[in-house]
Structure 1
């Protein structure tokens, strides 16, 4: 069964190295960087953790239309991503570490942003999930009214785990568990006290565990959730349930931690797995605390397996992915089209030229010989895929060709994720079978004019007559 992850995504970049000297310009360490690694952050990290553990995952989020968003999508390979437009740059957080210890962090694109849109496809993607993790990173997605209505309805039937953010929206009523850490709970309480001076939220005291238990109870009633789990780092967590007023302390195994990044994400992911499997709330929370500790003990995010490399395209004559990367790095628009292109003719040339005029590069998804044979019949293609590729690449309008072996281009499109998908024909773009897929990452489907009396079938018949 699928676990849906809903929330804000960002690109995390780790710069790892060693520091053995100070900078002569000032008393700061000089880090000799030996490794640079990008990974999905925020809700993307939760999705990646679940997928690495073998679970089916659907990530529902908002994405920008910039180069970091495409780098982020590369880190989400193997995960179904249903995204609306964010209307803002993709946040990038770069961590500098020396000897495994954090030295500095640089944030880009994390400023104020418009509230992202929630599309019907995003709402539809939640249906049928066995559990939902909401990873709120304060970028406004969880404030959307339609999304909140859908999540509140789902919370009546399946486990919904909500990882909150001080700058984010309140959890919807009825969620199974809300999982703030000590700092987040404190900041949320401070914000609530500022908003409602008479609100009975306790000030932090000397006994942090007792304070956490009291605060968890207050937040439970404020959020109307079924449980609140306040994590306390190495001290474990405090669980307060709707069904029982007494706080339960859940100790964490003793762990040496150099970097606690990702522990909360691992906790939320583990809770979703155990609750979806039907385990009790307290048992699931205990197990999630242990698994978050184990995650840190084995290296945390630094030790996460990299996203699996995408499968190579068979017969790829030009490096389409590199072409796309360069175009997007310069802020350009990627256009793609597809077909068998057997016996290239004037109608093809006009269609391809019209498609290329819509953007800054054109990638042709070309049916392989086997694919063309299944679609067109045993006598086709007339020319092999190698010749067809070379002819297409000889046209000024074509920047790259990708050969695919399936009957439809969906898998190819999932890899390329063009901004515009173009087909020639006399039908509406909305009727194209690829429309829903392309629109799921914010792309568009367009058609260009069909040229009657110019077709491969007519040309092949004419050649047969002359012999």
Structure 2
């Protein structure tokens, strides 16, 4: 369950040590309307330019944007690009740059020429020395890493194959982290996963994964099979394969593989999306999130990142909005009357591979206890259906004086909540038949119930679904609120 109220303060207490290849990303935006008279080459009429911290530096920026602290160890040259990067990182109060300067090589710099109108990349120019750091510089980098390790909660190695993450630095970092009980996440570049032996988690994209495993793994099942073989060689706890529009597949060494579909989103720029994924995973795991929650958060963050131009960072507020989207439908579009047709919604969500959750109640007077359960329920799934007792059903359960509000009013209040994707009114005393129709992946109730008391738990258990109990807020009860209101009237 992705509980933002609990995770937010936990995230702010975490410090991530990020080590990797730093680069300066420059984007020149303009349009091409003619060919150069000097050569058969298009001429871009530059309109504006933007400079961003790129490569592993973008990982650091994403860590800071999420509210955690980051100590960043990287390499720059003795040039303007290096000084620009150092100043940009130092300007963020949550980032502590520990940069080693190598005068013999340029700071990695990439200039992208982009069509302003079509948001397409037309050309990229690179300044770089893609070679391992010299022995002297390598030792300075290792010394910097080992000095910072005791101060951090988790380690993230961001490998762009530009020279920082040498075999020796990787080995010494992972070994030292293990001795201190620190987990290590690696966004790998080398196809030799054994190079990262002992890391907690590797996060290759599908192309990198197929090259490393020498497989054509295409489905989640095939990926899981190939990943388990790779993990044995790399001696890591889990492996995550990112697959762009196909979503992500996480394979833990212990337990079942988890696949999440990509969020439907208009892709504007994929630059740095992998950085965002790695940063979110590190922050979430450091804050105590499970594999499942960290994966779902990273997947949502990737959707936010690719919807932005350039090298983008994602804030915790943006992540929250993606996971708990605003109610963009009118209330009447989110309400299904008793006996109404749920299939169009269910078919669409199942086709997209979304995880459907379900909870239910009378919701006669909506109070903070209800809101907590609904928000927590939505955090445990991709789409939340709320079963709502009809007026006749409430009367049978609660007595002739209830409900205080009719079913339409109650449904409209629920439908206005961002956590609720659909309200399904049911006429029976229990939602059992509704649960059988929906077959939710997760069935949620308040913690004042035991698992055995949750209506429909046998149904959900039968196909491997999850039953989730949410701790309730003490002192909040519709019955007591109604009683107090009536006492006040008398």
Do the two structures share a fold, i.e. TM-score over 0.5?
yes
- Are residue 63 (structure 1) and residue 84 (structure 2) matched? no
How many residues get paired? 291
Q: Give the superposition deviation at 1:209.
A: 4.5
Q: Measure, in 2, the Cα distance between the counterparts of 1:303 and 1:276.
A: 19
- Correspondence for 2:244 among 233, 250, 265: 233
The match for 1:460 is none
The residue correspondences of 1:201-212 to structure 2 (distance < 5 A) are 201-202=214-215, 204=216, 207=218, 209-212=220-223
Instruction: Give the Cα–Cα distance (whole angstroms) in 2 for the partners of residues 303 and 249 of structure 1.
Output: 24
Cα distance in 1 between the residues matched to 2:265 and 2:39: 35
RMSD: 2.6
CA contact (8 A) 1:10 1:91 kept: yes
Say yes or no: does 1:276 pair with 2:286. yes
Partner of residue 270 from structure 2, selected from 250, 260, 266: 260
2:232 is aligned with 1:221: yes
Consecutive unaligned residues of structure 1, counting only runs of 5 or more, are 190-200, 306-467
Residue matched to 1:164? 188
Unaligned runs of 5+ in 2: 1-13, 316-490
1:90 to 102, 107, 128: 107
Shift of residue 169, structure 1, vs aligned partner: 7.5
Displacement of 1:186: 2.6
State which of 138, 145, 159 in structure 2 corresponds to 1:136: 159
**Kindly tell me: are residues 224 and 31 of structure 1, through their superposed partners in 2, closer, same or farther at Cα, counting changes over 3 Å?**
same
Partners of 2:314 and 2:37 lie apart in 1 by 35
Cα displacement string for residues 143-193 of structure 1 (whole angstroms, at most 9, x for unaligned residues): 25365223233246233211001378755333221101112223334xxxx
Q: Is the 8 A contact 1:131 1:158 kept in 2?
A: yes
SS at match of 2:196: coil
Answer whether contact 1:84 1:117 (CA < 8 A) is retained.
no
**Could you list the per-position Cα deviations for residues 182-228 of structure 1 after superposition, in whole angstroms to 9, with x for gaps in the alignment?**
12223334xxxxxxxxxxx42x26x4545433332232222111111
Please state whether the residue corresponding to 2:138 is helix, strand or coil. coil
CA distance, structure 1, for counterparts of residue 56 and residue 312 of structure 2:
17
- The answer as to whether partners of 1:19 and 1:29 remain within 8 angstroms in 2 is yes
- 1:301 offset after TM fit, Å? 2.0
Question: Deviation string for 1:341-379 (max 9, x for gaps)?
Answer: xxxxxxxxxxxxxxxxxxxxxxxxxxxxxxxxxxxxxxx
Q: Is the 8 A contact 1:13 1:39 kept in 2?
A: yes
Contact 1:139-1:168 at 8 Å conserved across structures: no
Residue 148 (str. 1) matches residue 171 (str. 2): yes
Matched, 1:188 2:198: no
**CA contact 1:162–1:171 (8 Å) conserved in 2:** no
Shift of 1:303: 7.8
TM-superposed CA distance for 1:239, in Å, is 1.2
Report the alpha carbon displacement of residue 296 of structure 1 after superposing the two structures with TM. 1.5
* Alpha-carbon distance in structure 1 between the residues aligned to 2:72 and 2:157: 10
Are the structure 2 counterparts of residues 216 and 24 from structure 1 closer, same or farther at C-alpha, using a change threshold of 3 Å?
farther
C-alpha separation in 1, matches of 2:72 and 2:126: 23
- Contact 2:65 2:313 (C-alpha < 8 Å) held by counterparts: no
The one-character-per-residue Cα deviations of 1:108-137 (angstroms, maximum 9, x if unpaired) are: 123435444233333211222011111011
Residue deviations 1:58-89 (CA, integer Å, cap 9, x gap): 10122222222112212212221113344422
Shift in CA distance, 4/217, structure 1 to aligned 2, threshold 3 Å: same
The answer as to whether partners of 1:7 and 1:142 remain within 8 angstroms in 2 is yes
Structure 2 Cα separation of the partners of residues 94 and 185 of structure 1: 28
Any residues of structure 2 matched to 1:291-302 within 5 Å, and which? 291-299=301-309, 301=311
Bigger share in helix: 2
